[in-house]
Structure 1
């Protein structure tokens, strides 16, 4: 006989720390900051570019750069490298942030994000296996294998979290993700350690970066990200209900299992797609939803909307910082986001801002 589920105490809905006017002003400032970050992303790189050269790069007809001499190199760098890199930074930043918000809502766990729940470990394990067995070497190959590995890990976490008489629960999802991530991490290390060639190839993908951005590589994944964003928008209201507890959400007419599965699918599409494009970038999906929650409160419609602003701002700004601090070389964005995200998250924890989701 199935034991009755213990009643879930409704969570107190967190409110914004700012008034409506202050919140609107803060959002406007972040919009301006994102525009500035995108402009700086086009200007800064291994080679100095003037404003006139940037204008020339955007106004030059396609194919005209071949006769432009030295300016052709500058034009090619701006158009072929910096613009796709900026666009990829915005896409990946938004996808990781929204994915983190969805996972925190599904799990009712403020520490949930793609890296903690095993999705990044699944992508990494798949990439390492492919490098060791078939000699994976090109960005397109990395993208396909990482996408499959991340999606498979997410599916396995869902299956493991749904086992047992009580079905899918946030606690079982979290435990399943932690166990799977640890196991896959150990297997990844076991495969790499005896193979110096695998370590040498894998380490460039593993740090997470957007320096190799190309529109032709992004194109196949963009539809998947757009579907993920659409699912996030549809799931926002149901996540608000799930935050009240499963029993109360069911009493309000929400199919708890279906709502959780839909939001989880959106999170998987976003996290697996972003990991395939840029490698395993940490802390964005963990920190950004908390920052959004502090600004706009616990309404997931507002949280998800703000994540699509703060995520790109964090990732593009981190990429610009990585280019400036070590010119002419680049510090990959995954390293910079970790350096920024870790102390910010510690500050949030110390301030007690991670208790409610």
Structure 2
């Protein structure tokens, strides 16, 4: 059921309001709870001598920015994948793109000599591209959603197995990368963030360039081709944007799954099928989901901490099963 036009503007304000409240809660809660007023003061009138404000500015604010970047990237990547693949089950994690990016990062850091954390984005982009091309090659030209999903599951399993073998051969590397490989927001190096921003912006720009073609493609591939849409160009631009956005997310926080699956469905439920709204709603809802998941990861078992990827799997796994059952019916 689509919301009426008169309800859309209040709905946008509601989404933004919830996003801001969640962001402030993300700054206030953790192993140590900090009053909301102190968290707000740390943003607008920072006092370095205040220990609570130092925690907010030094630790929680960088983590919040990473959660926003990861969620926005995965939400947008999932929306694009479902659009260009005509597949409501598409997701960078389910189709193996995150696994490919993770494999190349592990291989680059543990096997190739002379690499440091600044190379993580490049390895992640290369792995995401190889995985995406592999999935499309196995799926063939028919764009069958079930075959595409099965191809992605096979690529994901293969790359995950190779990653596990590499880690078994390097016990020290396994110890250092274990948390990153299950999706962790809190491990990101600041140099990686500086590397990722431009590529993330480029991925979003490619989405805007592709906007008109994506909207027409909703009518069907044949109708879009008849209206002058270059389907090959649309899919290549979409694939490149997915690779950049997924690579950014993996470089920042490891392979976090199911965000790109859940967010497009939530965005369509709230704002309809027009990609002028979807491409704006997806990064907002993606950021919202990852912030909530990271907040839960830090507070559910405190003073201990879960990995954010575990929480998103607990949320997204049941939703994926429901979507598969609906597709089968």
Q: Considering only aligned residues, what root-mean-square deviation do their CA atoms show, in Å? A: 2.8
Match of 1:18 in 2: 3
**Structure-1 separation of matches of 2:108 and 2:194:** 23
Quick check: 1:47 aligned with 2:25? Answer: no
- Rounded to whole Å, the distance in 1 between the matches of 2:190 and 2:178 is 23
Give the TM-score of the pair, scaled to structure 2.
Answer: 0.87
2:271 is equivalent to residue 320 of structure 1: no
1:255 to 230, 233, 240: 230
**Is structure 2 residue 306 aligned with structure 1 residue 331?**
yes
From the CA coordinates, give the structure whose radius of gyration is larger. 1
Deviations 1:207-261 (A, max 9, x none): 1121134554312111111111121122232123223332221111111111111
Q: C-alpha distance in 1, partners of 2:159/2:22?
A: 36
Q: How does 1:1-357 map to 2 (within 5 A)?
A: 16-51=1-36, 53-58=38-43, 65=48, 68=49, 71=50, 73-134=51-112, 139-157=117-135, 160=137, 168-171=141-144, 176-213=151-188, 215-348=190-323, 352=326
Distance 2:129 2:287 in 1: 23
Q: Following TM superposition, by how much is the alpha carbon of 1:330 offset from its aligned partner in structure 2, in angstroms?
A: 2.0
Moved more, 305-314 or 143-152: 143-152
Alpha-carbon distance change, 346 to 177 in structure 1, aligned in 2, over 3 angstroms: closer
Alpha carbons 2:102, 2:181 under 8 Å: kept: yes
Task: Tell me, in whole angstroms, the C-alpha distance in 2 between the residues paired with 1:108 and 1:336.
Answer: 27
Q: CA 1:136–1:41 in 2, change beyond 3 Å: closer, same or farther?
A: farther
SS at match of 1:170: coil
For the residue of structure 2 that corresponds to 1:327, the secondary structure is coil
Which 10-residue stretch deviates more, 279-288 or 196-205?
Answer: 196-205
TM-score normalised to structure 1 length = 0.81
**Does the Cα contact within 8 Å between 1:130 and 1:136 map onto a contact in 2?**
no
Structure 1 residue runs without a partner (length 5+) = 1-15
Task: Specify whether residues 183 and 29 from structure 1 end up closer, same or farther in structure 2 by C-alpha distance, changes over 3 A only.
Answer: same
Report the CA distance between 1:287 and its aligned residue.
0.7
